[in-house]
Amino acid sequence: MIIECPYCESKVDGKIIGEHVSYGDEDPHPFKAVLLECPACKESLLGYQELIQVGFEQDEWITGSNRLWPKPTNNNRWLLPSIVSDSLQEAEKCYNARAYSACAVMCGRSLEGLCNHYQTKSKTIGGGIKELLERKIIDERLFQWGEALRKQRNLGAHATGEKITKEDARDILDFADAICEYVFVLSNKFDSFIKRQEEKAKKEAKERNAEEYPEVF
């Protein structure tokens, strides 16, 4: 079964050690967890497969396996604007190809996409993320992460003697993912949560009023 091994940093045909199919309470489609062994480094990998419809009344498990453990690729990127998610996907590919300077550049490009999405006035990444901070789209901690990312991006984009290490590339990719997920995913989830709580409170208040003053309702 094909799966990405983070230890070998490549896609491998993992040896299946065991698997288990279960059904979620809210999702009627089955979910298969698969325990695999990397044929190259012998490390353990945990993946999952989903059942897809391939014909009339015919389903089939997807041939590849998405990784659950160790840390999988960010699965929330599909929720991001394409101008941002495309850059993050390219950054991940660069990292896996050990092109760490290119990874840094594409992470910087994801921040540019974030600034473009919110139509910041500054033409630079530094000015753009500072405006996002002032507009309270990001907080102080995310601004610091963005600044660290921006500096690494500049190192990767210009011909200097400094090199971006594997560890630094992994960190700035995580920073880029975290910033974009906070802005586009978690913020929207929180807004939806607050809206549900407000609607719930209104409904409960209406029900209490109906019990106290039944003739009105």
CATH of the domain spanning 77-192, picked from 3.20.20.80, 1.10.3720.10, 1.20.120.330, 3.40.50.1820? 1.20.120.330
Alpha helices in the chain (DSSP H): 82-96, 100-117, 125-134, 140-157, 166-181, 187-212
Phi/psi for 53 (5° steps) reads -85, 125
> Given this model, what pLDDT does residue 4 score?
82
> Given this model, what pLDDT does residue 25 score?
60
Predicted TM-score (pTM) of this structure: 0.63
Q: Which residues of the chain have pLDDT under 50?
A: none
> Given this model, what pLDDT does residue 104 score?
93
Phi/psi for 119 (5° steps) reads 50, 50
Q: Give the whole-angstrom CA distance, residue 123 versus residue 127.
A: 7
Q: Give the whole-angstrom CA distance, residue 8 versus residue 30.
A: 30
Query: In this structure, are residues 169 and 104 in contact, taking their beta carbons and an 8 Å threshold?
Result: yes
Q: Give the whole-angstrom CA distance, residue 125 versus residue 116.
A: 10
> Given this model, what pLDDT does residue 84 score?
92
The structural domains of the chain, with segments of one domain joined by +, span 2-69, 77-192
> How many other C-beta atoms lie within 10 A of the C-beta of residue 124?
12
Of the candidates 62, 50, 67, the one whose C-alpha atom is nearest the C-alpha of residue 7 is: 67
